[in-house]
Amino acid sequence: MIGLIVAYSKNRVIGNSGCIPWKIKGEQKRFKELTTGNVVIMGRRSYEEIGHPLPNRTTIVVSGTKNYDADNCITVKSLGEAVKIAGDRNVYISGGESLYKEALSIAEKMYITEIELEVEGDTYFPEFDEALFDKEINQHFDGDIPYTYVTYTRK
Ligand SMILES: NC(=O)c1ccc[n+]([C@@H]2O[C@H](COP(=O)([O-])OP(=O)(O)OC[C@H]3O[C@@H](n4cnc5c(N)ncnc54)[C@H](OP(=O)(O)O)[C@@H]3O)[C@@H](O)[C@H]2O)c1
């Protein structure tokens, strides 16, 4: 299964100055639940934001310039190479903008957290053709910044 996982605001922002521009306690719970034991693929800048391999899963970093090879962490030069190396394991493509753009055409499932916030940013989740997917609304959370887990499955 090739999955994509992202949280974006009402104006499709995913990041600002290398960081995620909101902090909502518990919002990343689904990310942890889905990706644990599986493979996470991310671009070099997103990896640098985290700064270390994620525990209990394999991290594949896509970079043309750097190498982050460590226990359960390898670096490859393209998204295609990352998917190939993952083989038949479940993969979750987890940003940032450049990787999402490429991943839109191959993702079978998109696990999206819709953040109910208009926020300033410099990186965005690309527009996509919703008609190509079935949308399921999974869970809504109220709070200072409400958010909703949704899943898009390719038809
Ligand atoms: N809200 C969310 O769910 C979420 C999730 C993840 C990240 N983010 C945010 O997104 C922002 C980072 O996104 P970004 O688009 O700037 O960076 P990014 O996609 O994380 O990383 C970009 C880098 O990845 C490498 N790369 C990407 N595609 C490649 C390809 N096809 N071939 C070779 N290398 C490739 C390149 O590294 P080299 O320059 O080393 O070649 C490129 O500079 C941050 O603000 C982060 O907080 C948000």
CATH number, domain with residue 126: 3.40.430.10
Length of the chain equals 155
- 36-54 residue pLDDT tens: 999 999 999 999 999 999 9
Separation between Cα atoms, residue 93 and residue 139, nearest integer Å: 21
Q: How far apart are the first and last CA of the chain?
A: 14
Q: Tell me the whole-structure pTM to 2 decimals.
A: 0.97
pLDDT at 53: 94
Find the mean pLDDT for residues 96-110: 97
Host domain of residue 46:
2-154
Separation between Cα atoms, residue 72 and residue 135, nearest integer Å: 33
Query: Which pLDDT band, with edges at 50, 70 and 90, does 122 fall under?
Result: very high
CB-ligand 1 contact for 65 (6 Å cutoff): yes
Q: How many helices (H) and strands (E) does the chain have?
A: 4, 10
CB-ligand 1 contact for 123 (6 Å cutoff): yes
Our count of domains for the chain comes to 1
User: Which residue bears the tokens 């991290």?
Assistant: 59
Question: What's the 45 CA to ligand 1 centre distance in angstroms?
Answer: 5
pLDDT averaged over every residue in the chain: 97
The ligand 1 atom nearest the CA atom of 7: 3
